[in-house]
Structures are given as structure tokens and as C-alpha cells.
Structure 1
Amino acid sequence: MTSNSLSTQSAGSADIIKYAAALLLVAAGVFAYYWFDGAWPAGVRALVVAAGLVLATVVFLGTKKGAQAREFLSESRFELRKVVWPTRQEATKTMWVVMAAVVIISLILAAFDWIIQLSVKALLGS
């Protein structure tokens, strides 16, 4: 958590225009993908969609919310550096514990299912 105070101001008119432009860029990329279905190869159409997404991201990052998103990602990256990742041996041991727990719980649920099945058959007289 950061010590930055959260502002409650709404987006300015410039930000709203940028949001609309970003949305239009994405929509234009998707529109071009379907509009040029027979004219352009699928790879080129996919690149047009990717270009629309990249341009929309660039436009979005110029807004107030974009700046907040950049700051959040920067802080997240900083926090990830603090994480102590398990060694391969620890991860393998944990995997085997999880696998054993899954097998045990599966057997318990199968036993409950069998008991309920026998109970229903006994009640119905089958």
C-alpha cells in the first residue's frame, strides 16, 4: 500500500476525449479485421487489431487513470522483487502434498457418494 492519498476527482474533458479515442482505436482495429475479411490475409488483419490495441494503450496511458495504472504496475514490480520464491525442491515437495490431499479428498467424496447411492437404493427398494 502506498502513502499516496487517493483523489476522488472525476476525469477531465481531455481525459474523456482520450478515453473515447482509445475506444475508437480498438473498435477500428476490430472493424478492420472483419471488414477486410477476404481482401487481406489473416496475419495482416491480426496486426491491424494489435496496432489498434497498442495505440489505444498509448492514448490511455496519457490520461489520469493511465498514470495511476503505471504507478500501480511500478509498485507491483517493486513488491515482486521482495518475494522469496520457493526452490525447486520445495515446490516439488509441496506439489506432492497437494497431490496426496487431492487423492484423499477424492476417495472421501467417492465413499460419501457410494453411501448415498446405497441409501437411496435401499429407500426406493431397488
Structure 2
Amino acid sequence: MNTKAEQTKGANLKEAGAADIAKLVLAVLVLVAGIVAYSWFSNDTSIPASVRLVGVLVALVAALGIAATTALGRRVRSFLGESQFEMRKVVWPTRDETLKTTGIIIVVVIVLSLLLGVIDLILKSVVLDWLLKLGS
């Protein structure tokens, strides 16, 4: 197992350069422009909804492309790459193991619910029948 003791330098907006902040602001503006254009042309019957939706998707892709060129975007891409690498290391259970484990969990839930139901009935009878009758 590979463990790193040192803490990696975080890239947040305080550490980002002016160019990165400008790129992030531009990405947000492009996305907002796509959403506003979708809403603006919603009453225009000459532009179909599918064209407006494609416009929003293009704005989203453009905004993600702009944001990906920043230091924060590079860190996100690196994180996603490392996550994908780690996912390849996972040993997934077989169908048979999954079904057996699910069956065991269902049986345990049923047994515990019955046990809690019996305890509830016993406590109800103790409180309502014995303790309240002693007080009257």
C-alpha cells in the first residue's frame, strides 16, 4: 500500500494566479450565458427546445474546457485519473457472492425486526398492564 505522509499543496482560489481566476470567472460567465440564452429563447417558437438544449450543452462543454486549463482544473483531472486507476484495483464480488450476502442481510434484518417487535410487546404489556395498574 502506498501511503504519503506529506500533505500535498492545495490549489484553492487564494493560491491561484490572476489568470486562473480570470479563466474560472470566464467559465462561469459562459455557462450562465448558455442558461440565460436557453431561458431567453424559451418563448420563441421558431427555435426548437432541442436546439436550445444543444446550446446549453455547448456552453457547458466550453465552460468545462476553459476551467480545465486552470491549476484547479488540472488537479481535478489528476484526481479523476488517480480515481480511475484505483477503481481498476478493486476486486468486485461475483454474482453468487452478492446474492449470498444479500440473502444473509435480509435474514438478519427479518430476525432483528422480529426480536425488536417481541421486546416492544413485552415492554408494552409491562408498562400498560403491570405498572399502570399498580398506580391506580
Fold shared by both chains (TM-score > 0.5): yes
Partner residue in 2 for 1:62: 69
Q: In the TM superposition, what are the counterparts of 1:16-95 in structure 2 within 5 Å?
A: 16-39=21-44, 40-95=47-102
Alignment partners' CA distance in 2, 1:102 and 1:69: 40
| Partner SS for 2:91 | coil
How much does 1:81 deviate? 0.9
Residue identity in the other structure for 2:66: V
Structure 1 gap ranges (5+): none
How much does 1:47 deviate? 1.7
Q: Percent same amino acid among aligned pairs? A: 41
| Partner SS for 1:81 | helix
Distance 1:121 1:75, change over 3 A: same
Distance 1:105 1:50, change over 3 A: farther
Rg bigger for which structure?
Answer: 2
Q: Give me the CA root mean square deviation.
A: 2.8
Alignment partners' CA distance in 2, 1:113 and 1:43: 57
How much does 1:28 deviate? 1.1
Distance 1:29 1:90, change over 3 A: same
Provide the aligned length of Structure 1 versus Structure 2: 125
Question: How high is the TM-score relative to the length of structure 2?
Answer: 0.74
Alignment partners' CA distance in 2, 1:116 and 1:33: 61
Cα deviation, 1:10-69, whole Å, max 9, x if unaligned, reads: 010000001101111111121112111122322222222211111111111100011011
Distance 1:100 1:21, change over 3 A: same
Question: How high is the TM-score relative to the length of structure 1?
Answer: 0.79
| Partner SS for 2:30 | helix
Alignment partners' CA distance in 2, 1:121 and 1:98: 34
Structure 2 gap ranges (5+): none
Cα deviation, 1:63-109, whole Å, max 9, x if unaligned, reads: 00110111111111111111111111001111112222332343345
Residue identity in the other structure for 1:6: T
Distance 1:2 1:67, change over 3 A: farther
